């Protein structure tokens, strides 16, 4: 599935999250029943009654506060409102060796605040935040991963508002989940639990896709404040790794979709799942995140933080097709 021909406009950096108490809550408190990125199956608090929490040996959460893996003398670990993040200086790089991955589908979720020009590399998948051609106050999330994509950025049709973080305008990518399937040579990407693109080709189907995550900071730097790796989908149960929740498959066809069904049948099931997902309000994730300096539409003149922020999605035809 290629990215949809419309742009998802996120009206603020926290638009897909319910941050009840999150700004003031410490990471130690967050780890007691809450994952900093709000991933349902890693939090021990499933979003739906049918979702089973993931076994502890099937995922790893990178401890930001304990990290010393920063490349560059000016890249340091900082704390903002009790939330630790890795501050990657403008033009610098930060790399993290990911959890040892098994052949087949593996998942990586990350939360990064990006200034314009920031790139995030996961094996042969490369994402970037470039300035929107339609609105200079938004960052457009772009990608390149296929054999023919190496010199051309393509839109994921997802844009997020630039907000001030310690005086620097950044787009908050949180949480983004990638599925890397090194056997099939394909990858998928979610924003929160909304599927942005599915079954795209990997440039390198084996080897490097299970290696490192690298953040190349743009002109204003980057903040890395969450990374998790898992053997299973951290957003919902997906036993056959087809980007469709198990409970939806059972409700539609009475069983999980067999691997040998026709491509057309798989396409119809995925489209039905997307249609059902779009008919519902955006999901809410209980997230602990470093807050922006202020959120113009949600804060008063003194920039006081606002809790219980409502979801907000705005759609319009793509200007970057």
Who has greater pLDDT, 40 or 207? 40
Highest mean pLDDT, choosing among 54-63, 132-141, 293-302: 132-141
pLDDT digits (tens, 9 = 90+) for 101-157: 677 789 999 999 999 999 999 888 899 999 999 889 999 999 986 655 556 899 998
Highest mean pLDDT, choosing among 48-52, 163-167, 281-285: 163-167
> If pLDDT is split at 50, 70 and 90, which confidence band does 25 have?
very low
Query: For 265-270, what is the mean pLDDT?
Result: 88
Q: Is the per-residue pLDDT at 221 higher than 90?
A: yes
Q: Residue 17: its pLDDT value, please?
A: 41
Q: Is the per-residue pLDDT at 179 higher than 80?
A: yes
Q: Is the per-residue pLDDT at 233 higher than 50?
A: yes
Q: Which of 21-25, 230-234, 286-290 has the lowest mean pLDDT?
A: 21-25
> If pLDDT is split at 50, 70 and 90, which confidence band does 19 have?
very low
The arrangement of secondary structure in 6-239+287-294, i.e. its CATH architecture, is Sandwich (2.60)
Q: Is the per-residue pLDDT at 255 higher than 50?
A: yes
Instruction: Quote the pTM value.
Output: 0.80
Rounded CA-CA distance 153/130 in Å is: 9
């Amino acid at each position: 599935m290629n990215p949809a021909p419309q742009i998802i406009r996120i009206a603020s950096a926290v638009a897909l999250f319910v941050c009840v108490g999150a700004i003031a809550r410490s990471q130690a408190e967050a780890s007691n029943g809450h994952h900093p990125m709000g991933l349902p199956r890693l939090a021990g608090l499933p979003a739906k009654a049918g979702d089973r929490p993931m076994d502890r040996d099937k995922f790893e959460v990178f401890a930001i506060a304990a990290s010393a893996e920063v490349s560059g003398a000016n890249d340091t670990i900082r704390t903002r409102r009790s939330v630790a993040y890795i501050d990657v200086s403008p033009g610098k790089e930060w790399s993290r060796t990911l959890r040892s991955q098994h052949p087949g589908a593996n998942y990586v979720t990350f939360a990064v605040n990006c200034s314009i020009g920031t790139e995030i590399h996961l094996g042969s998948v490369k994402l970037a935040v470039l300035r929107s051609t339609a609105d200079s106050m938004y960052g457009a999330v772009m990608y390149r991963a296929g054999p023919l994509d190496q010199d051309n950025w393509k839109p994921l049709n997802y844009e997020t508002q630039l907000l001030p973080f310690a005086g620097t305008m950044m787009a908050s990518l949180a949480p983004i989940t990638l599925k890397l399937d090194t056997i099939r040579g394909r990858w998928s990407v979610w924003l929160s639990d909304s599927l942005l693109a599915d079954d795209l080709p990997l440039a390198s189907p084996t080897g490097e896709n299970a290696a490192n995550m690298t953040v190349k900071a743009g002109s204003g730097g980057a903040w890395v404040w969450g990374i998790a790796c898992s053997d299973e989908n951290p957003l919902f149960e997906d036993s056959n790794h087809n980007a469709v929740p198990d409970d939806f498959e059972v409700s539609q066809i009475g069983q999980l979709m067999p691997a040998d069904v026709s491509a057309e049948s798989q396409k119809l099931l995925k489209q039905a799942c997307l249609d059902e997902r779009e008919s519902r309000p955006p999901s809410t994730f209980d997230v602990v995140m470093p807050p922006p300096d202020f959120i113009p539409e949600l804060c008063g003149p003194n920039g006081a933080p606002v809790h219980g922020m409502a979801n907000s999605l705005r759609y319009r035809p793509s200007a970057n097709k």
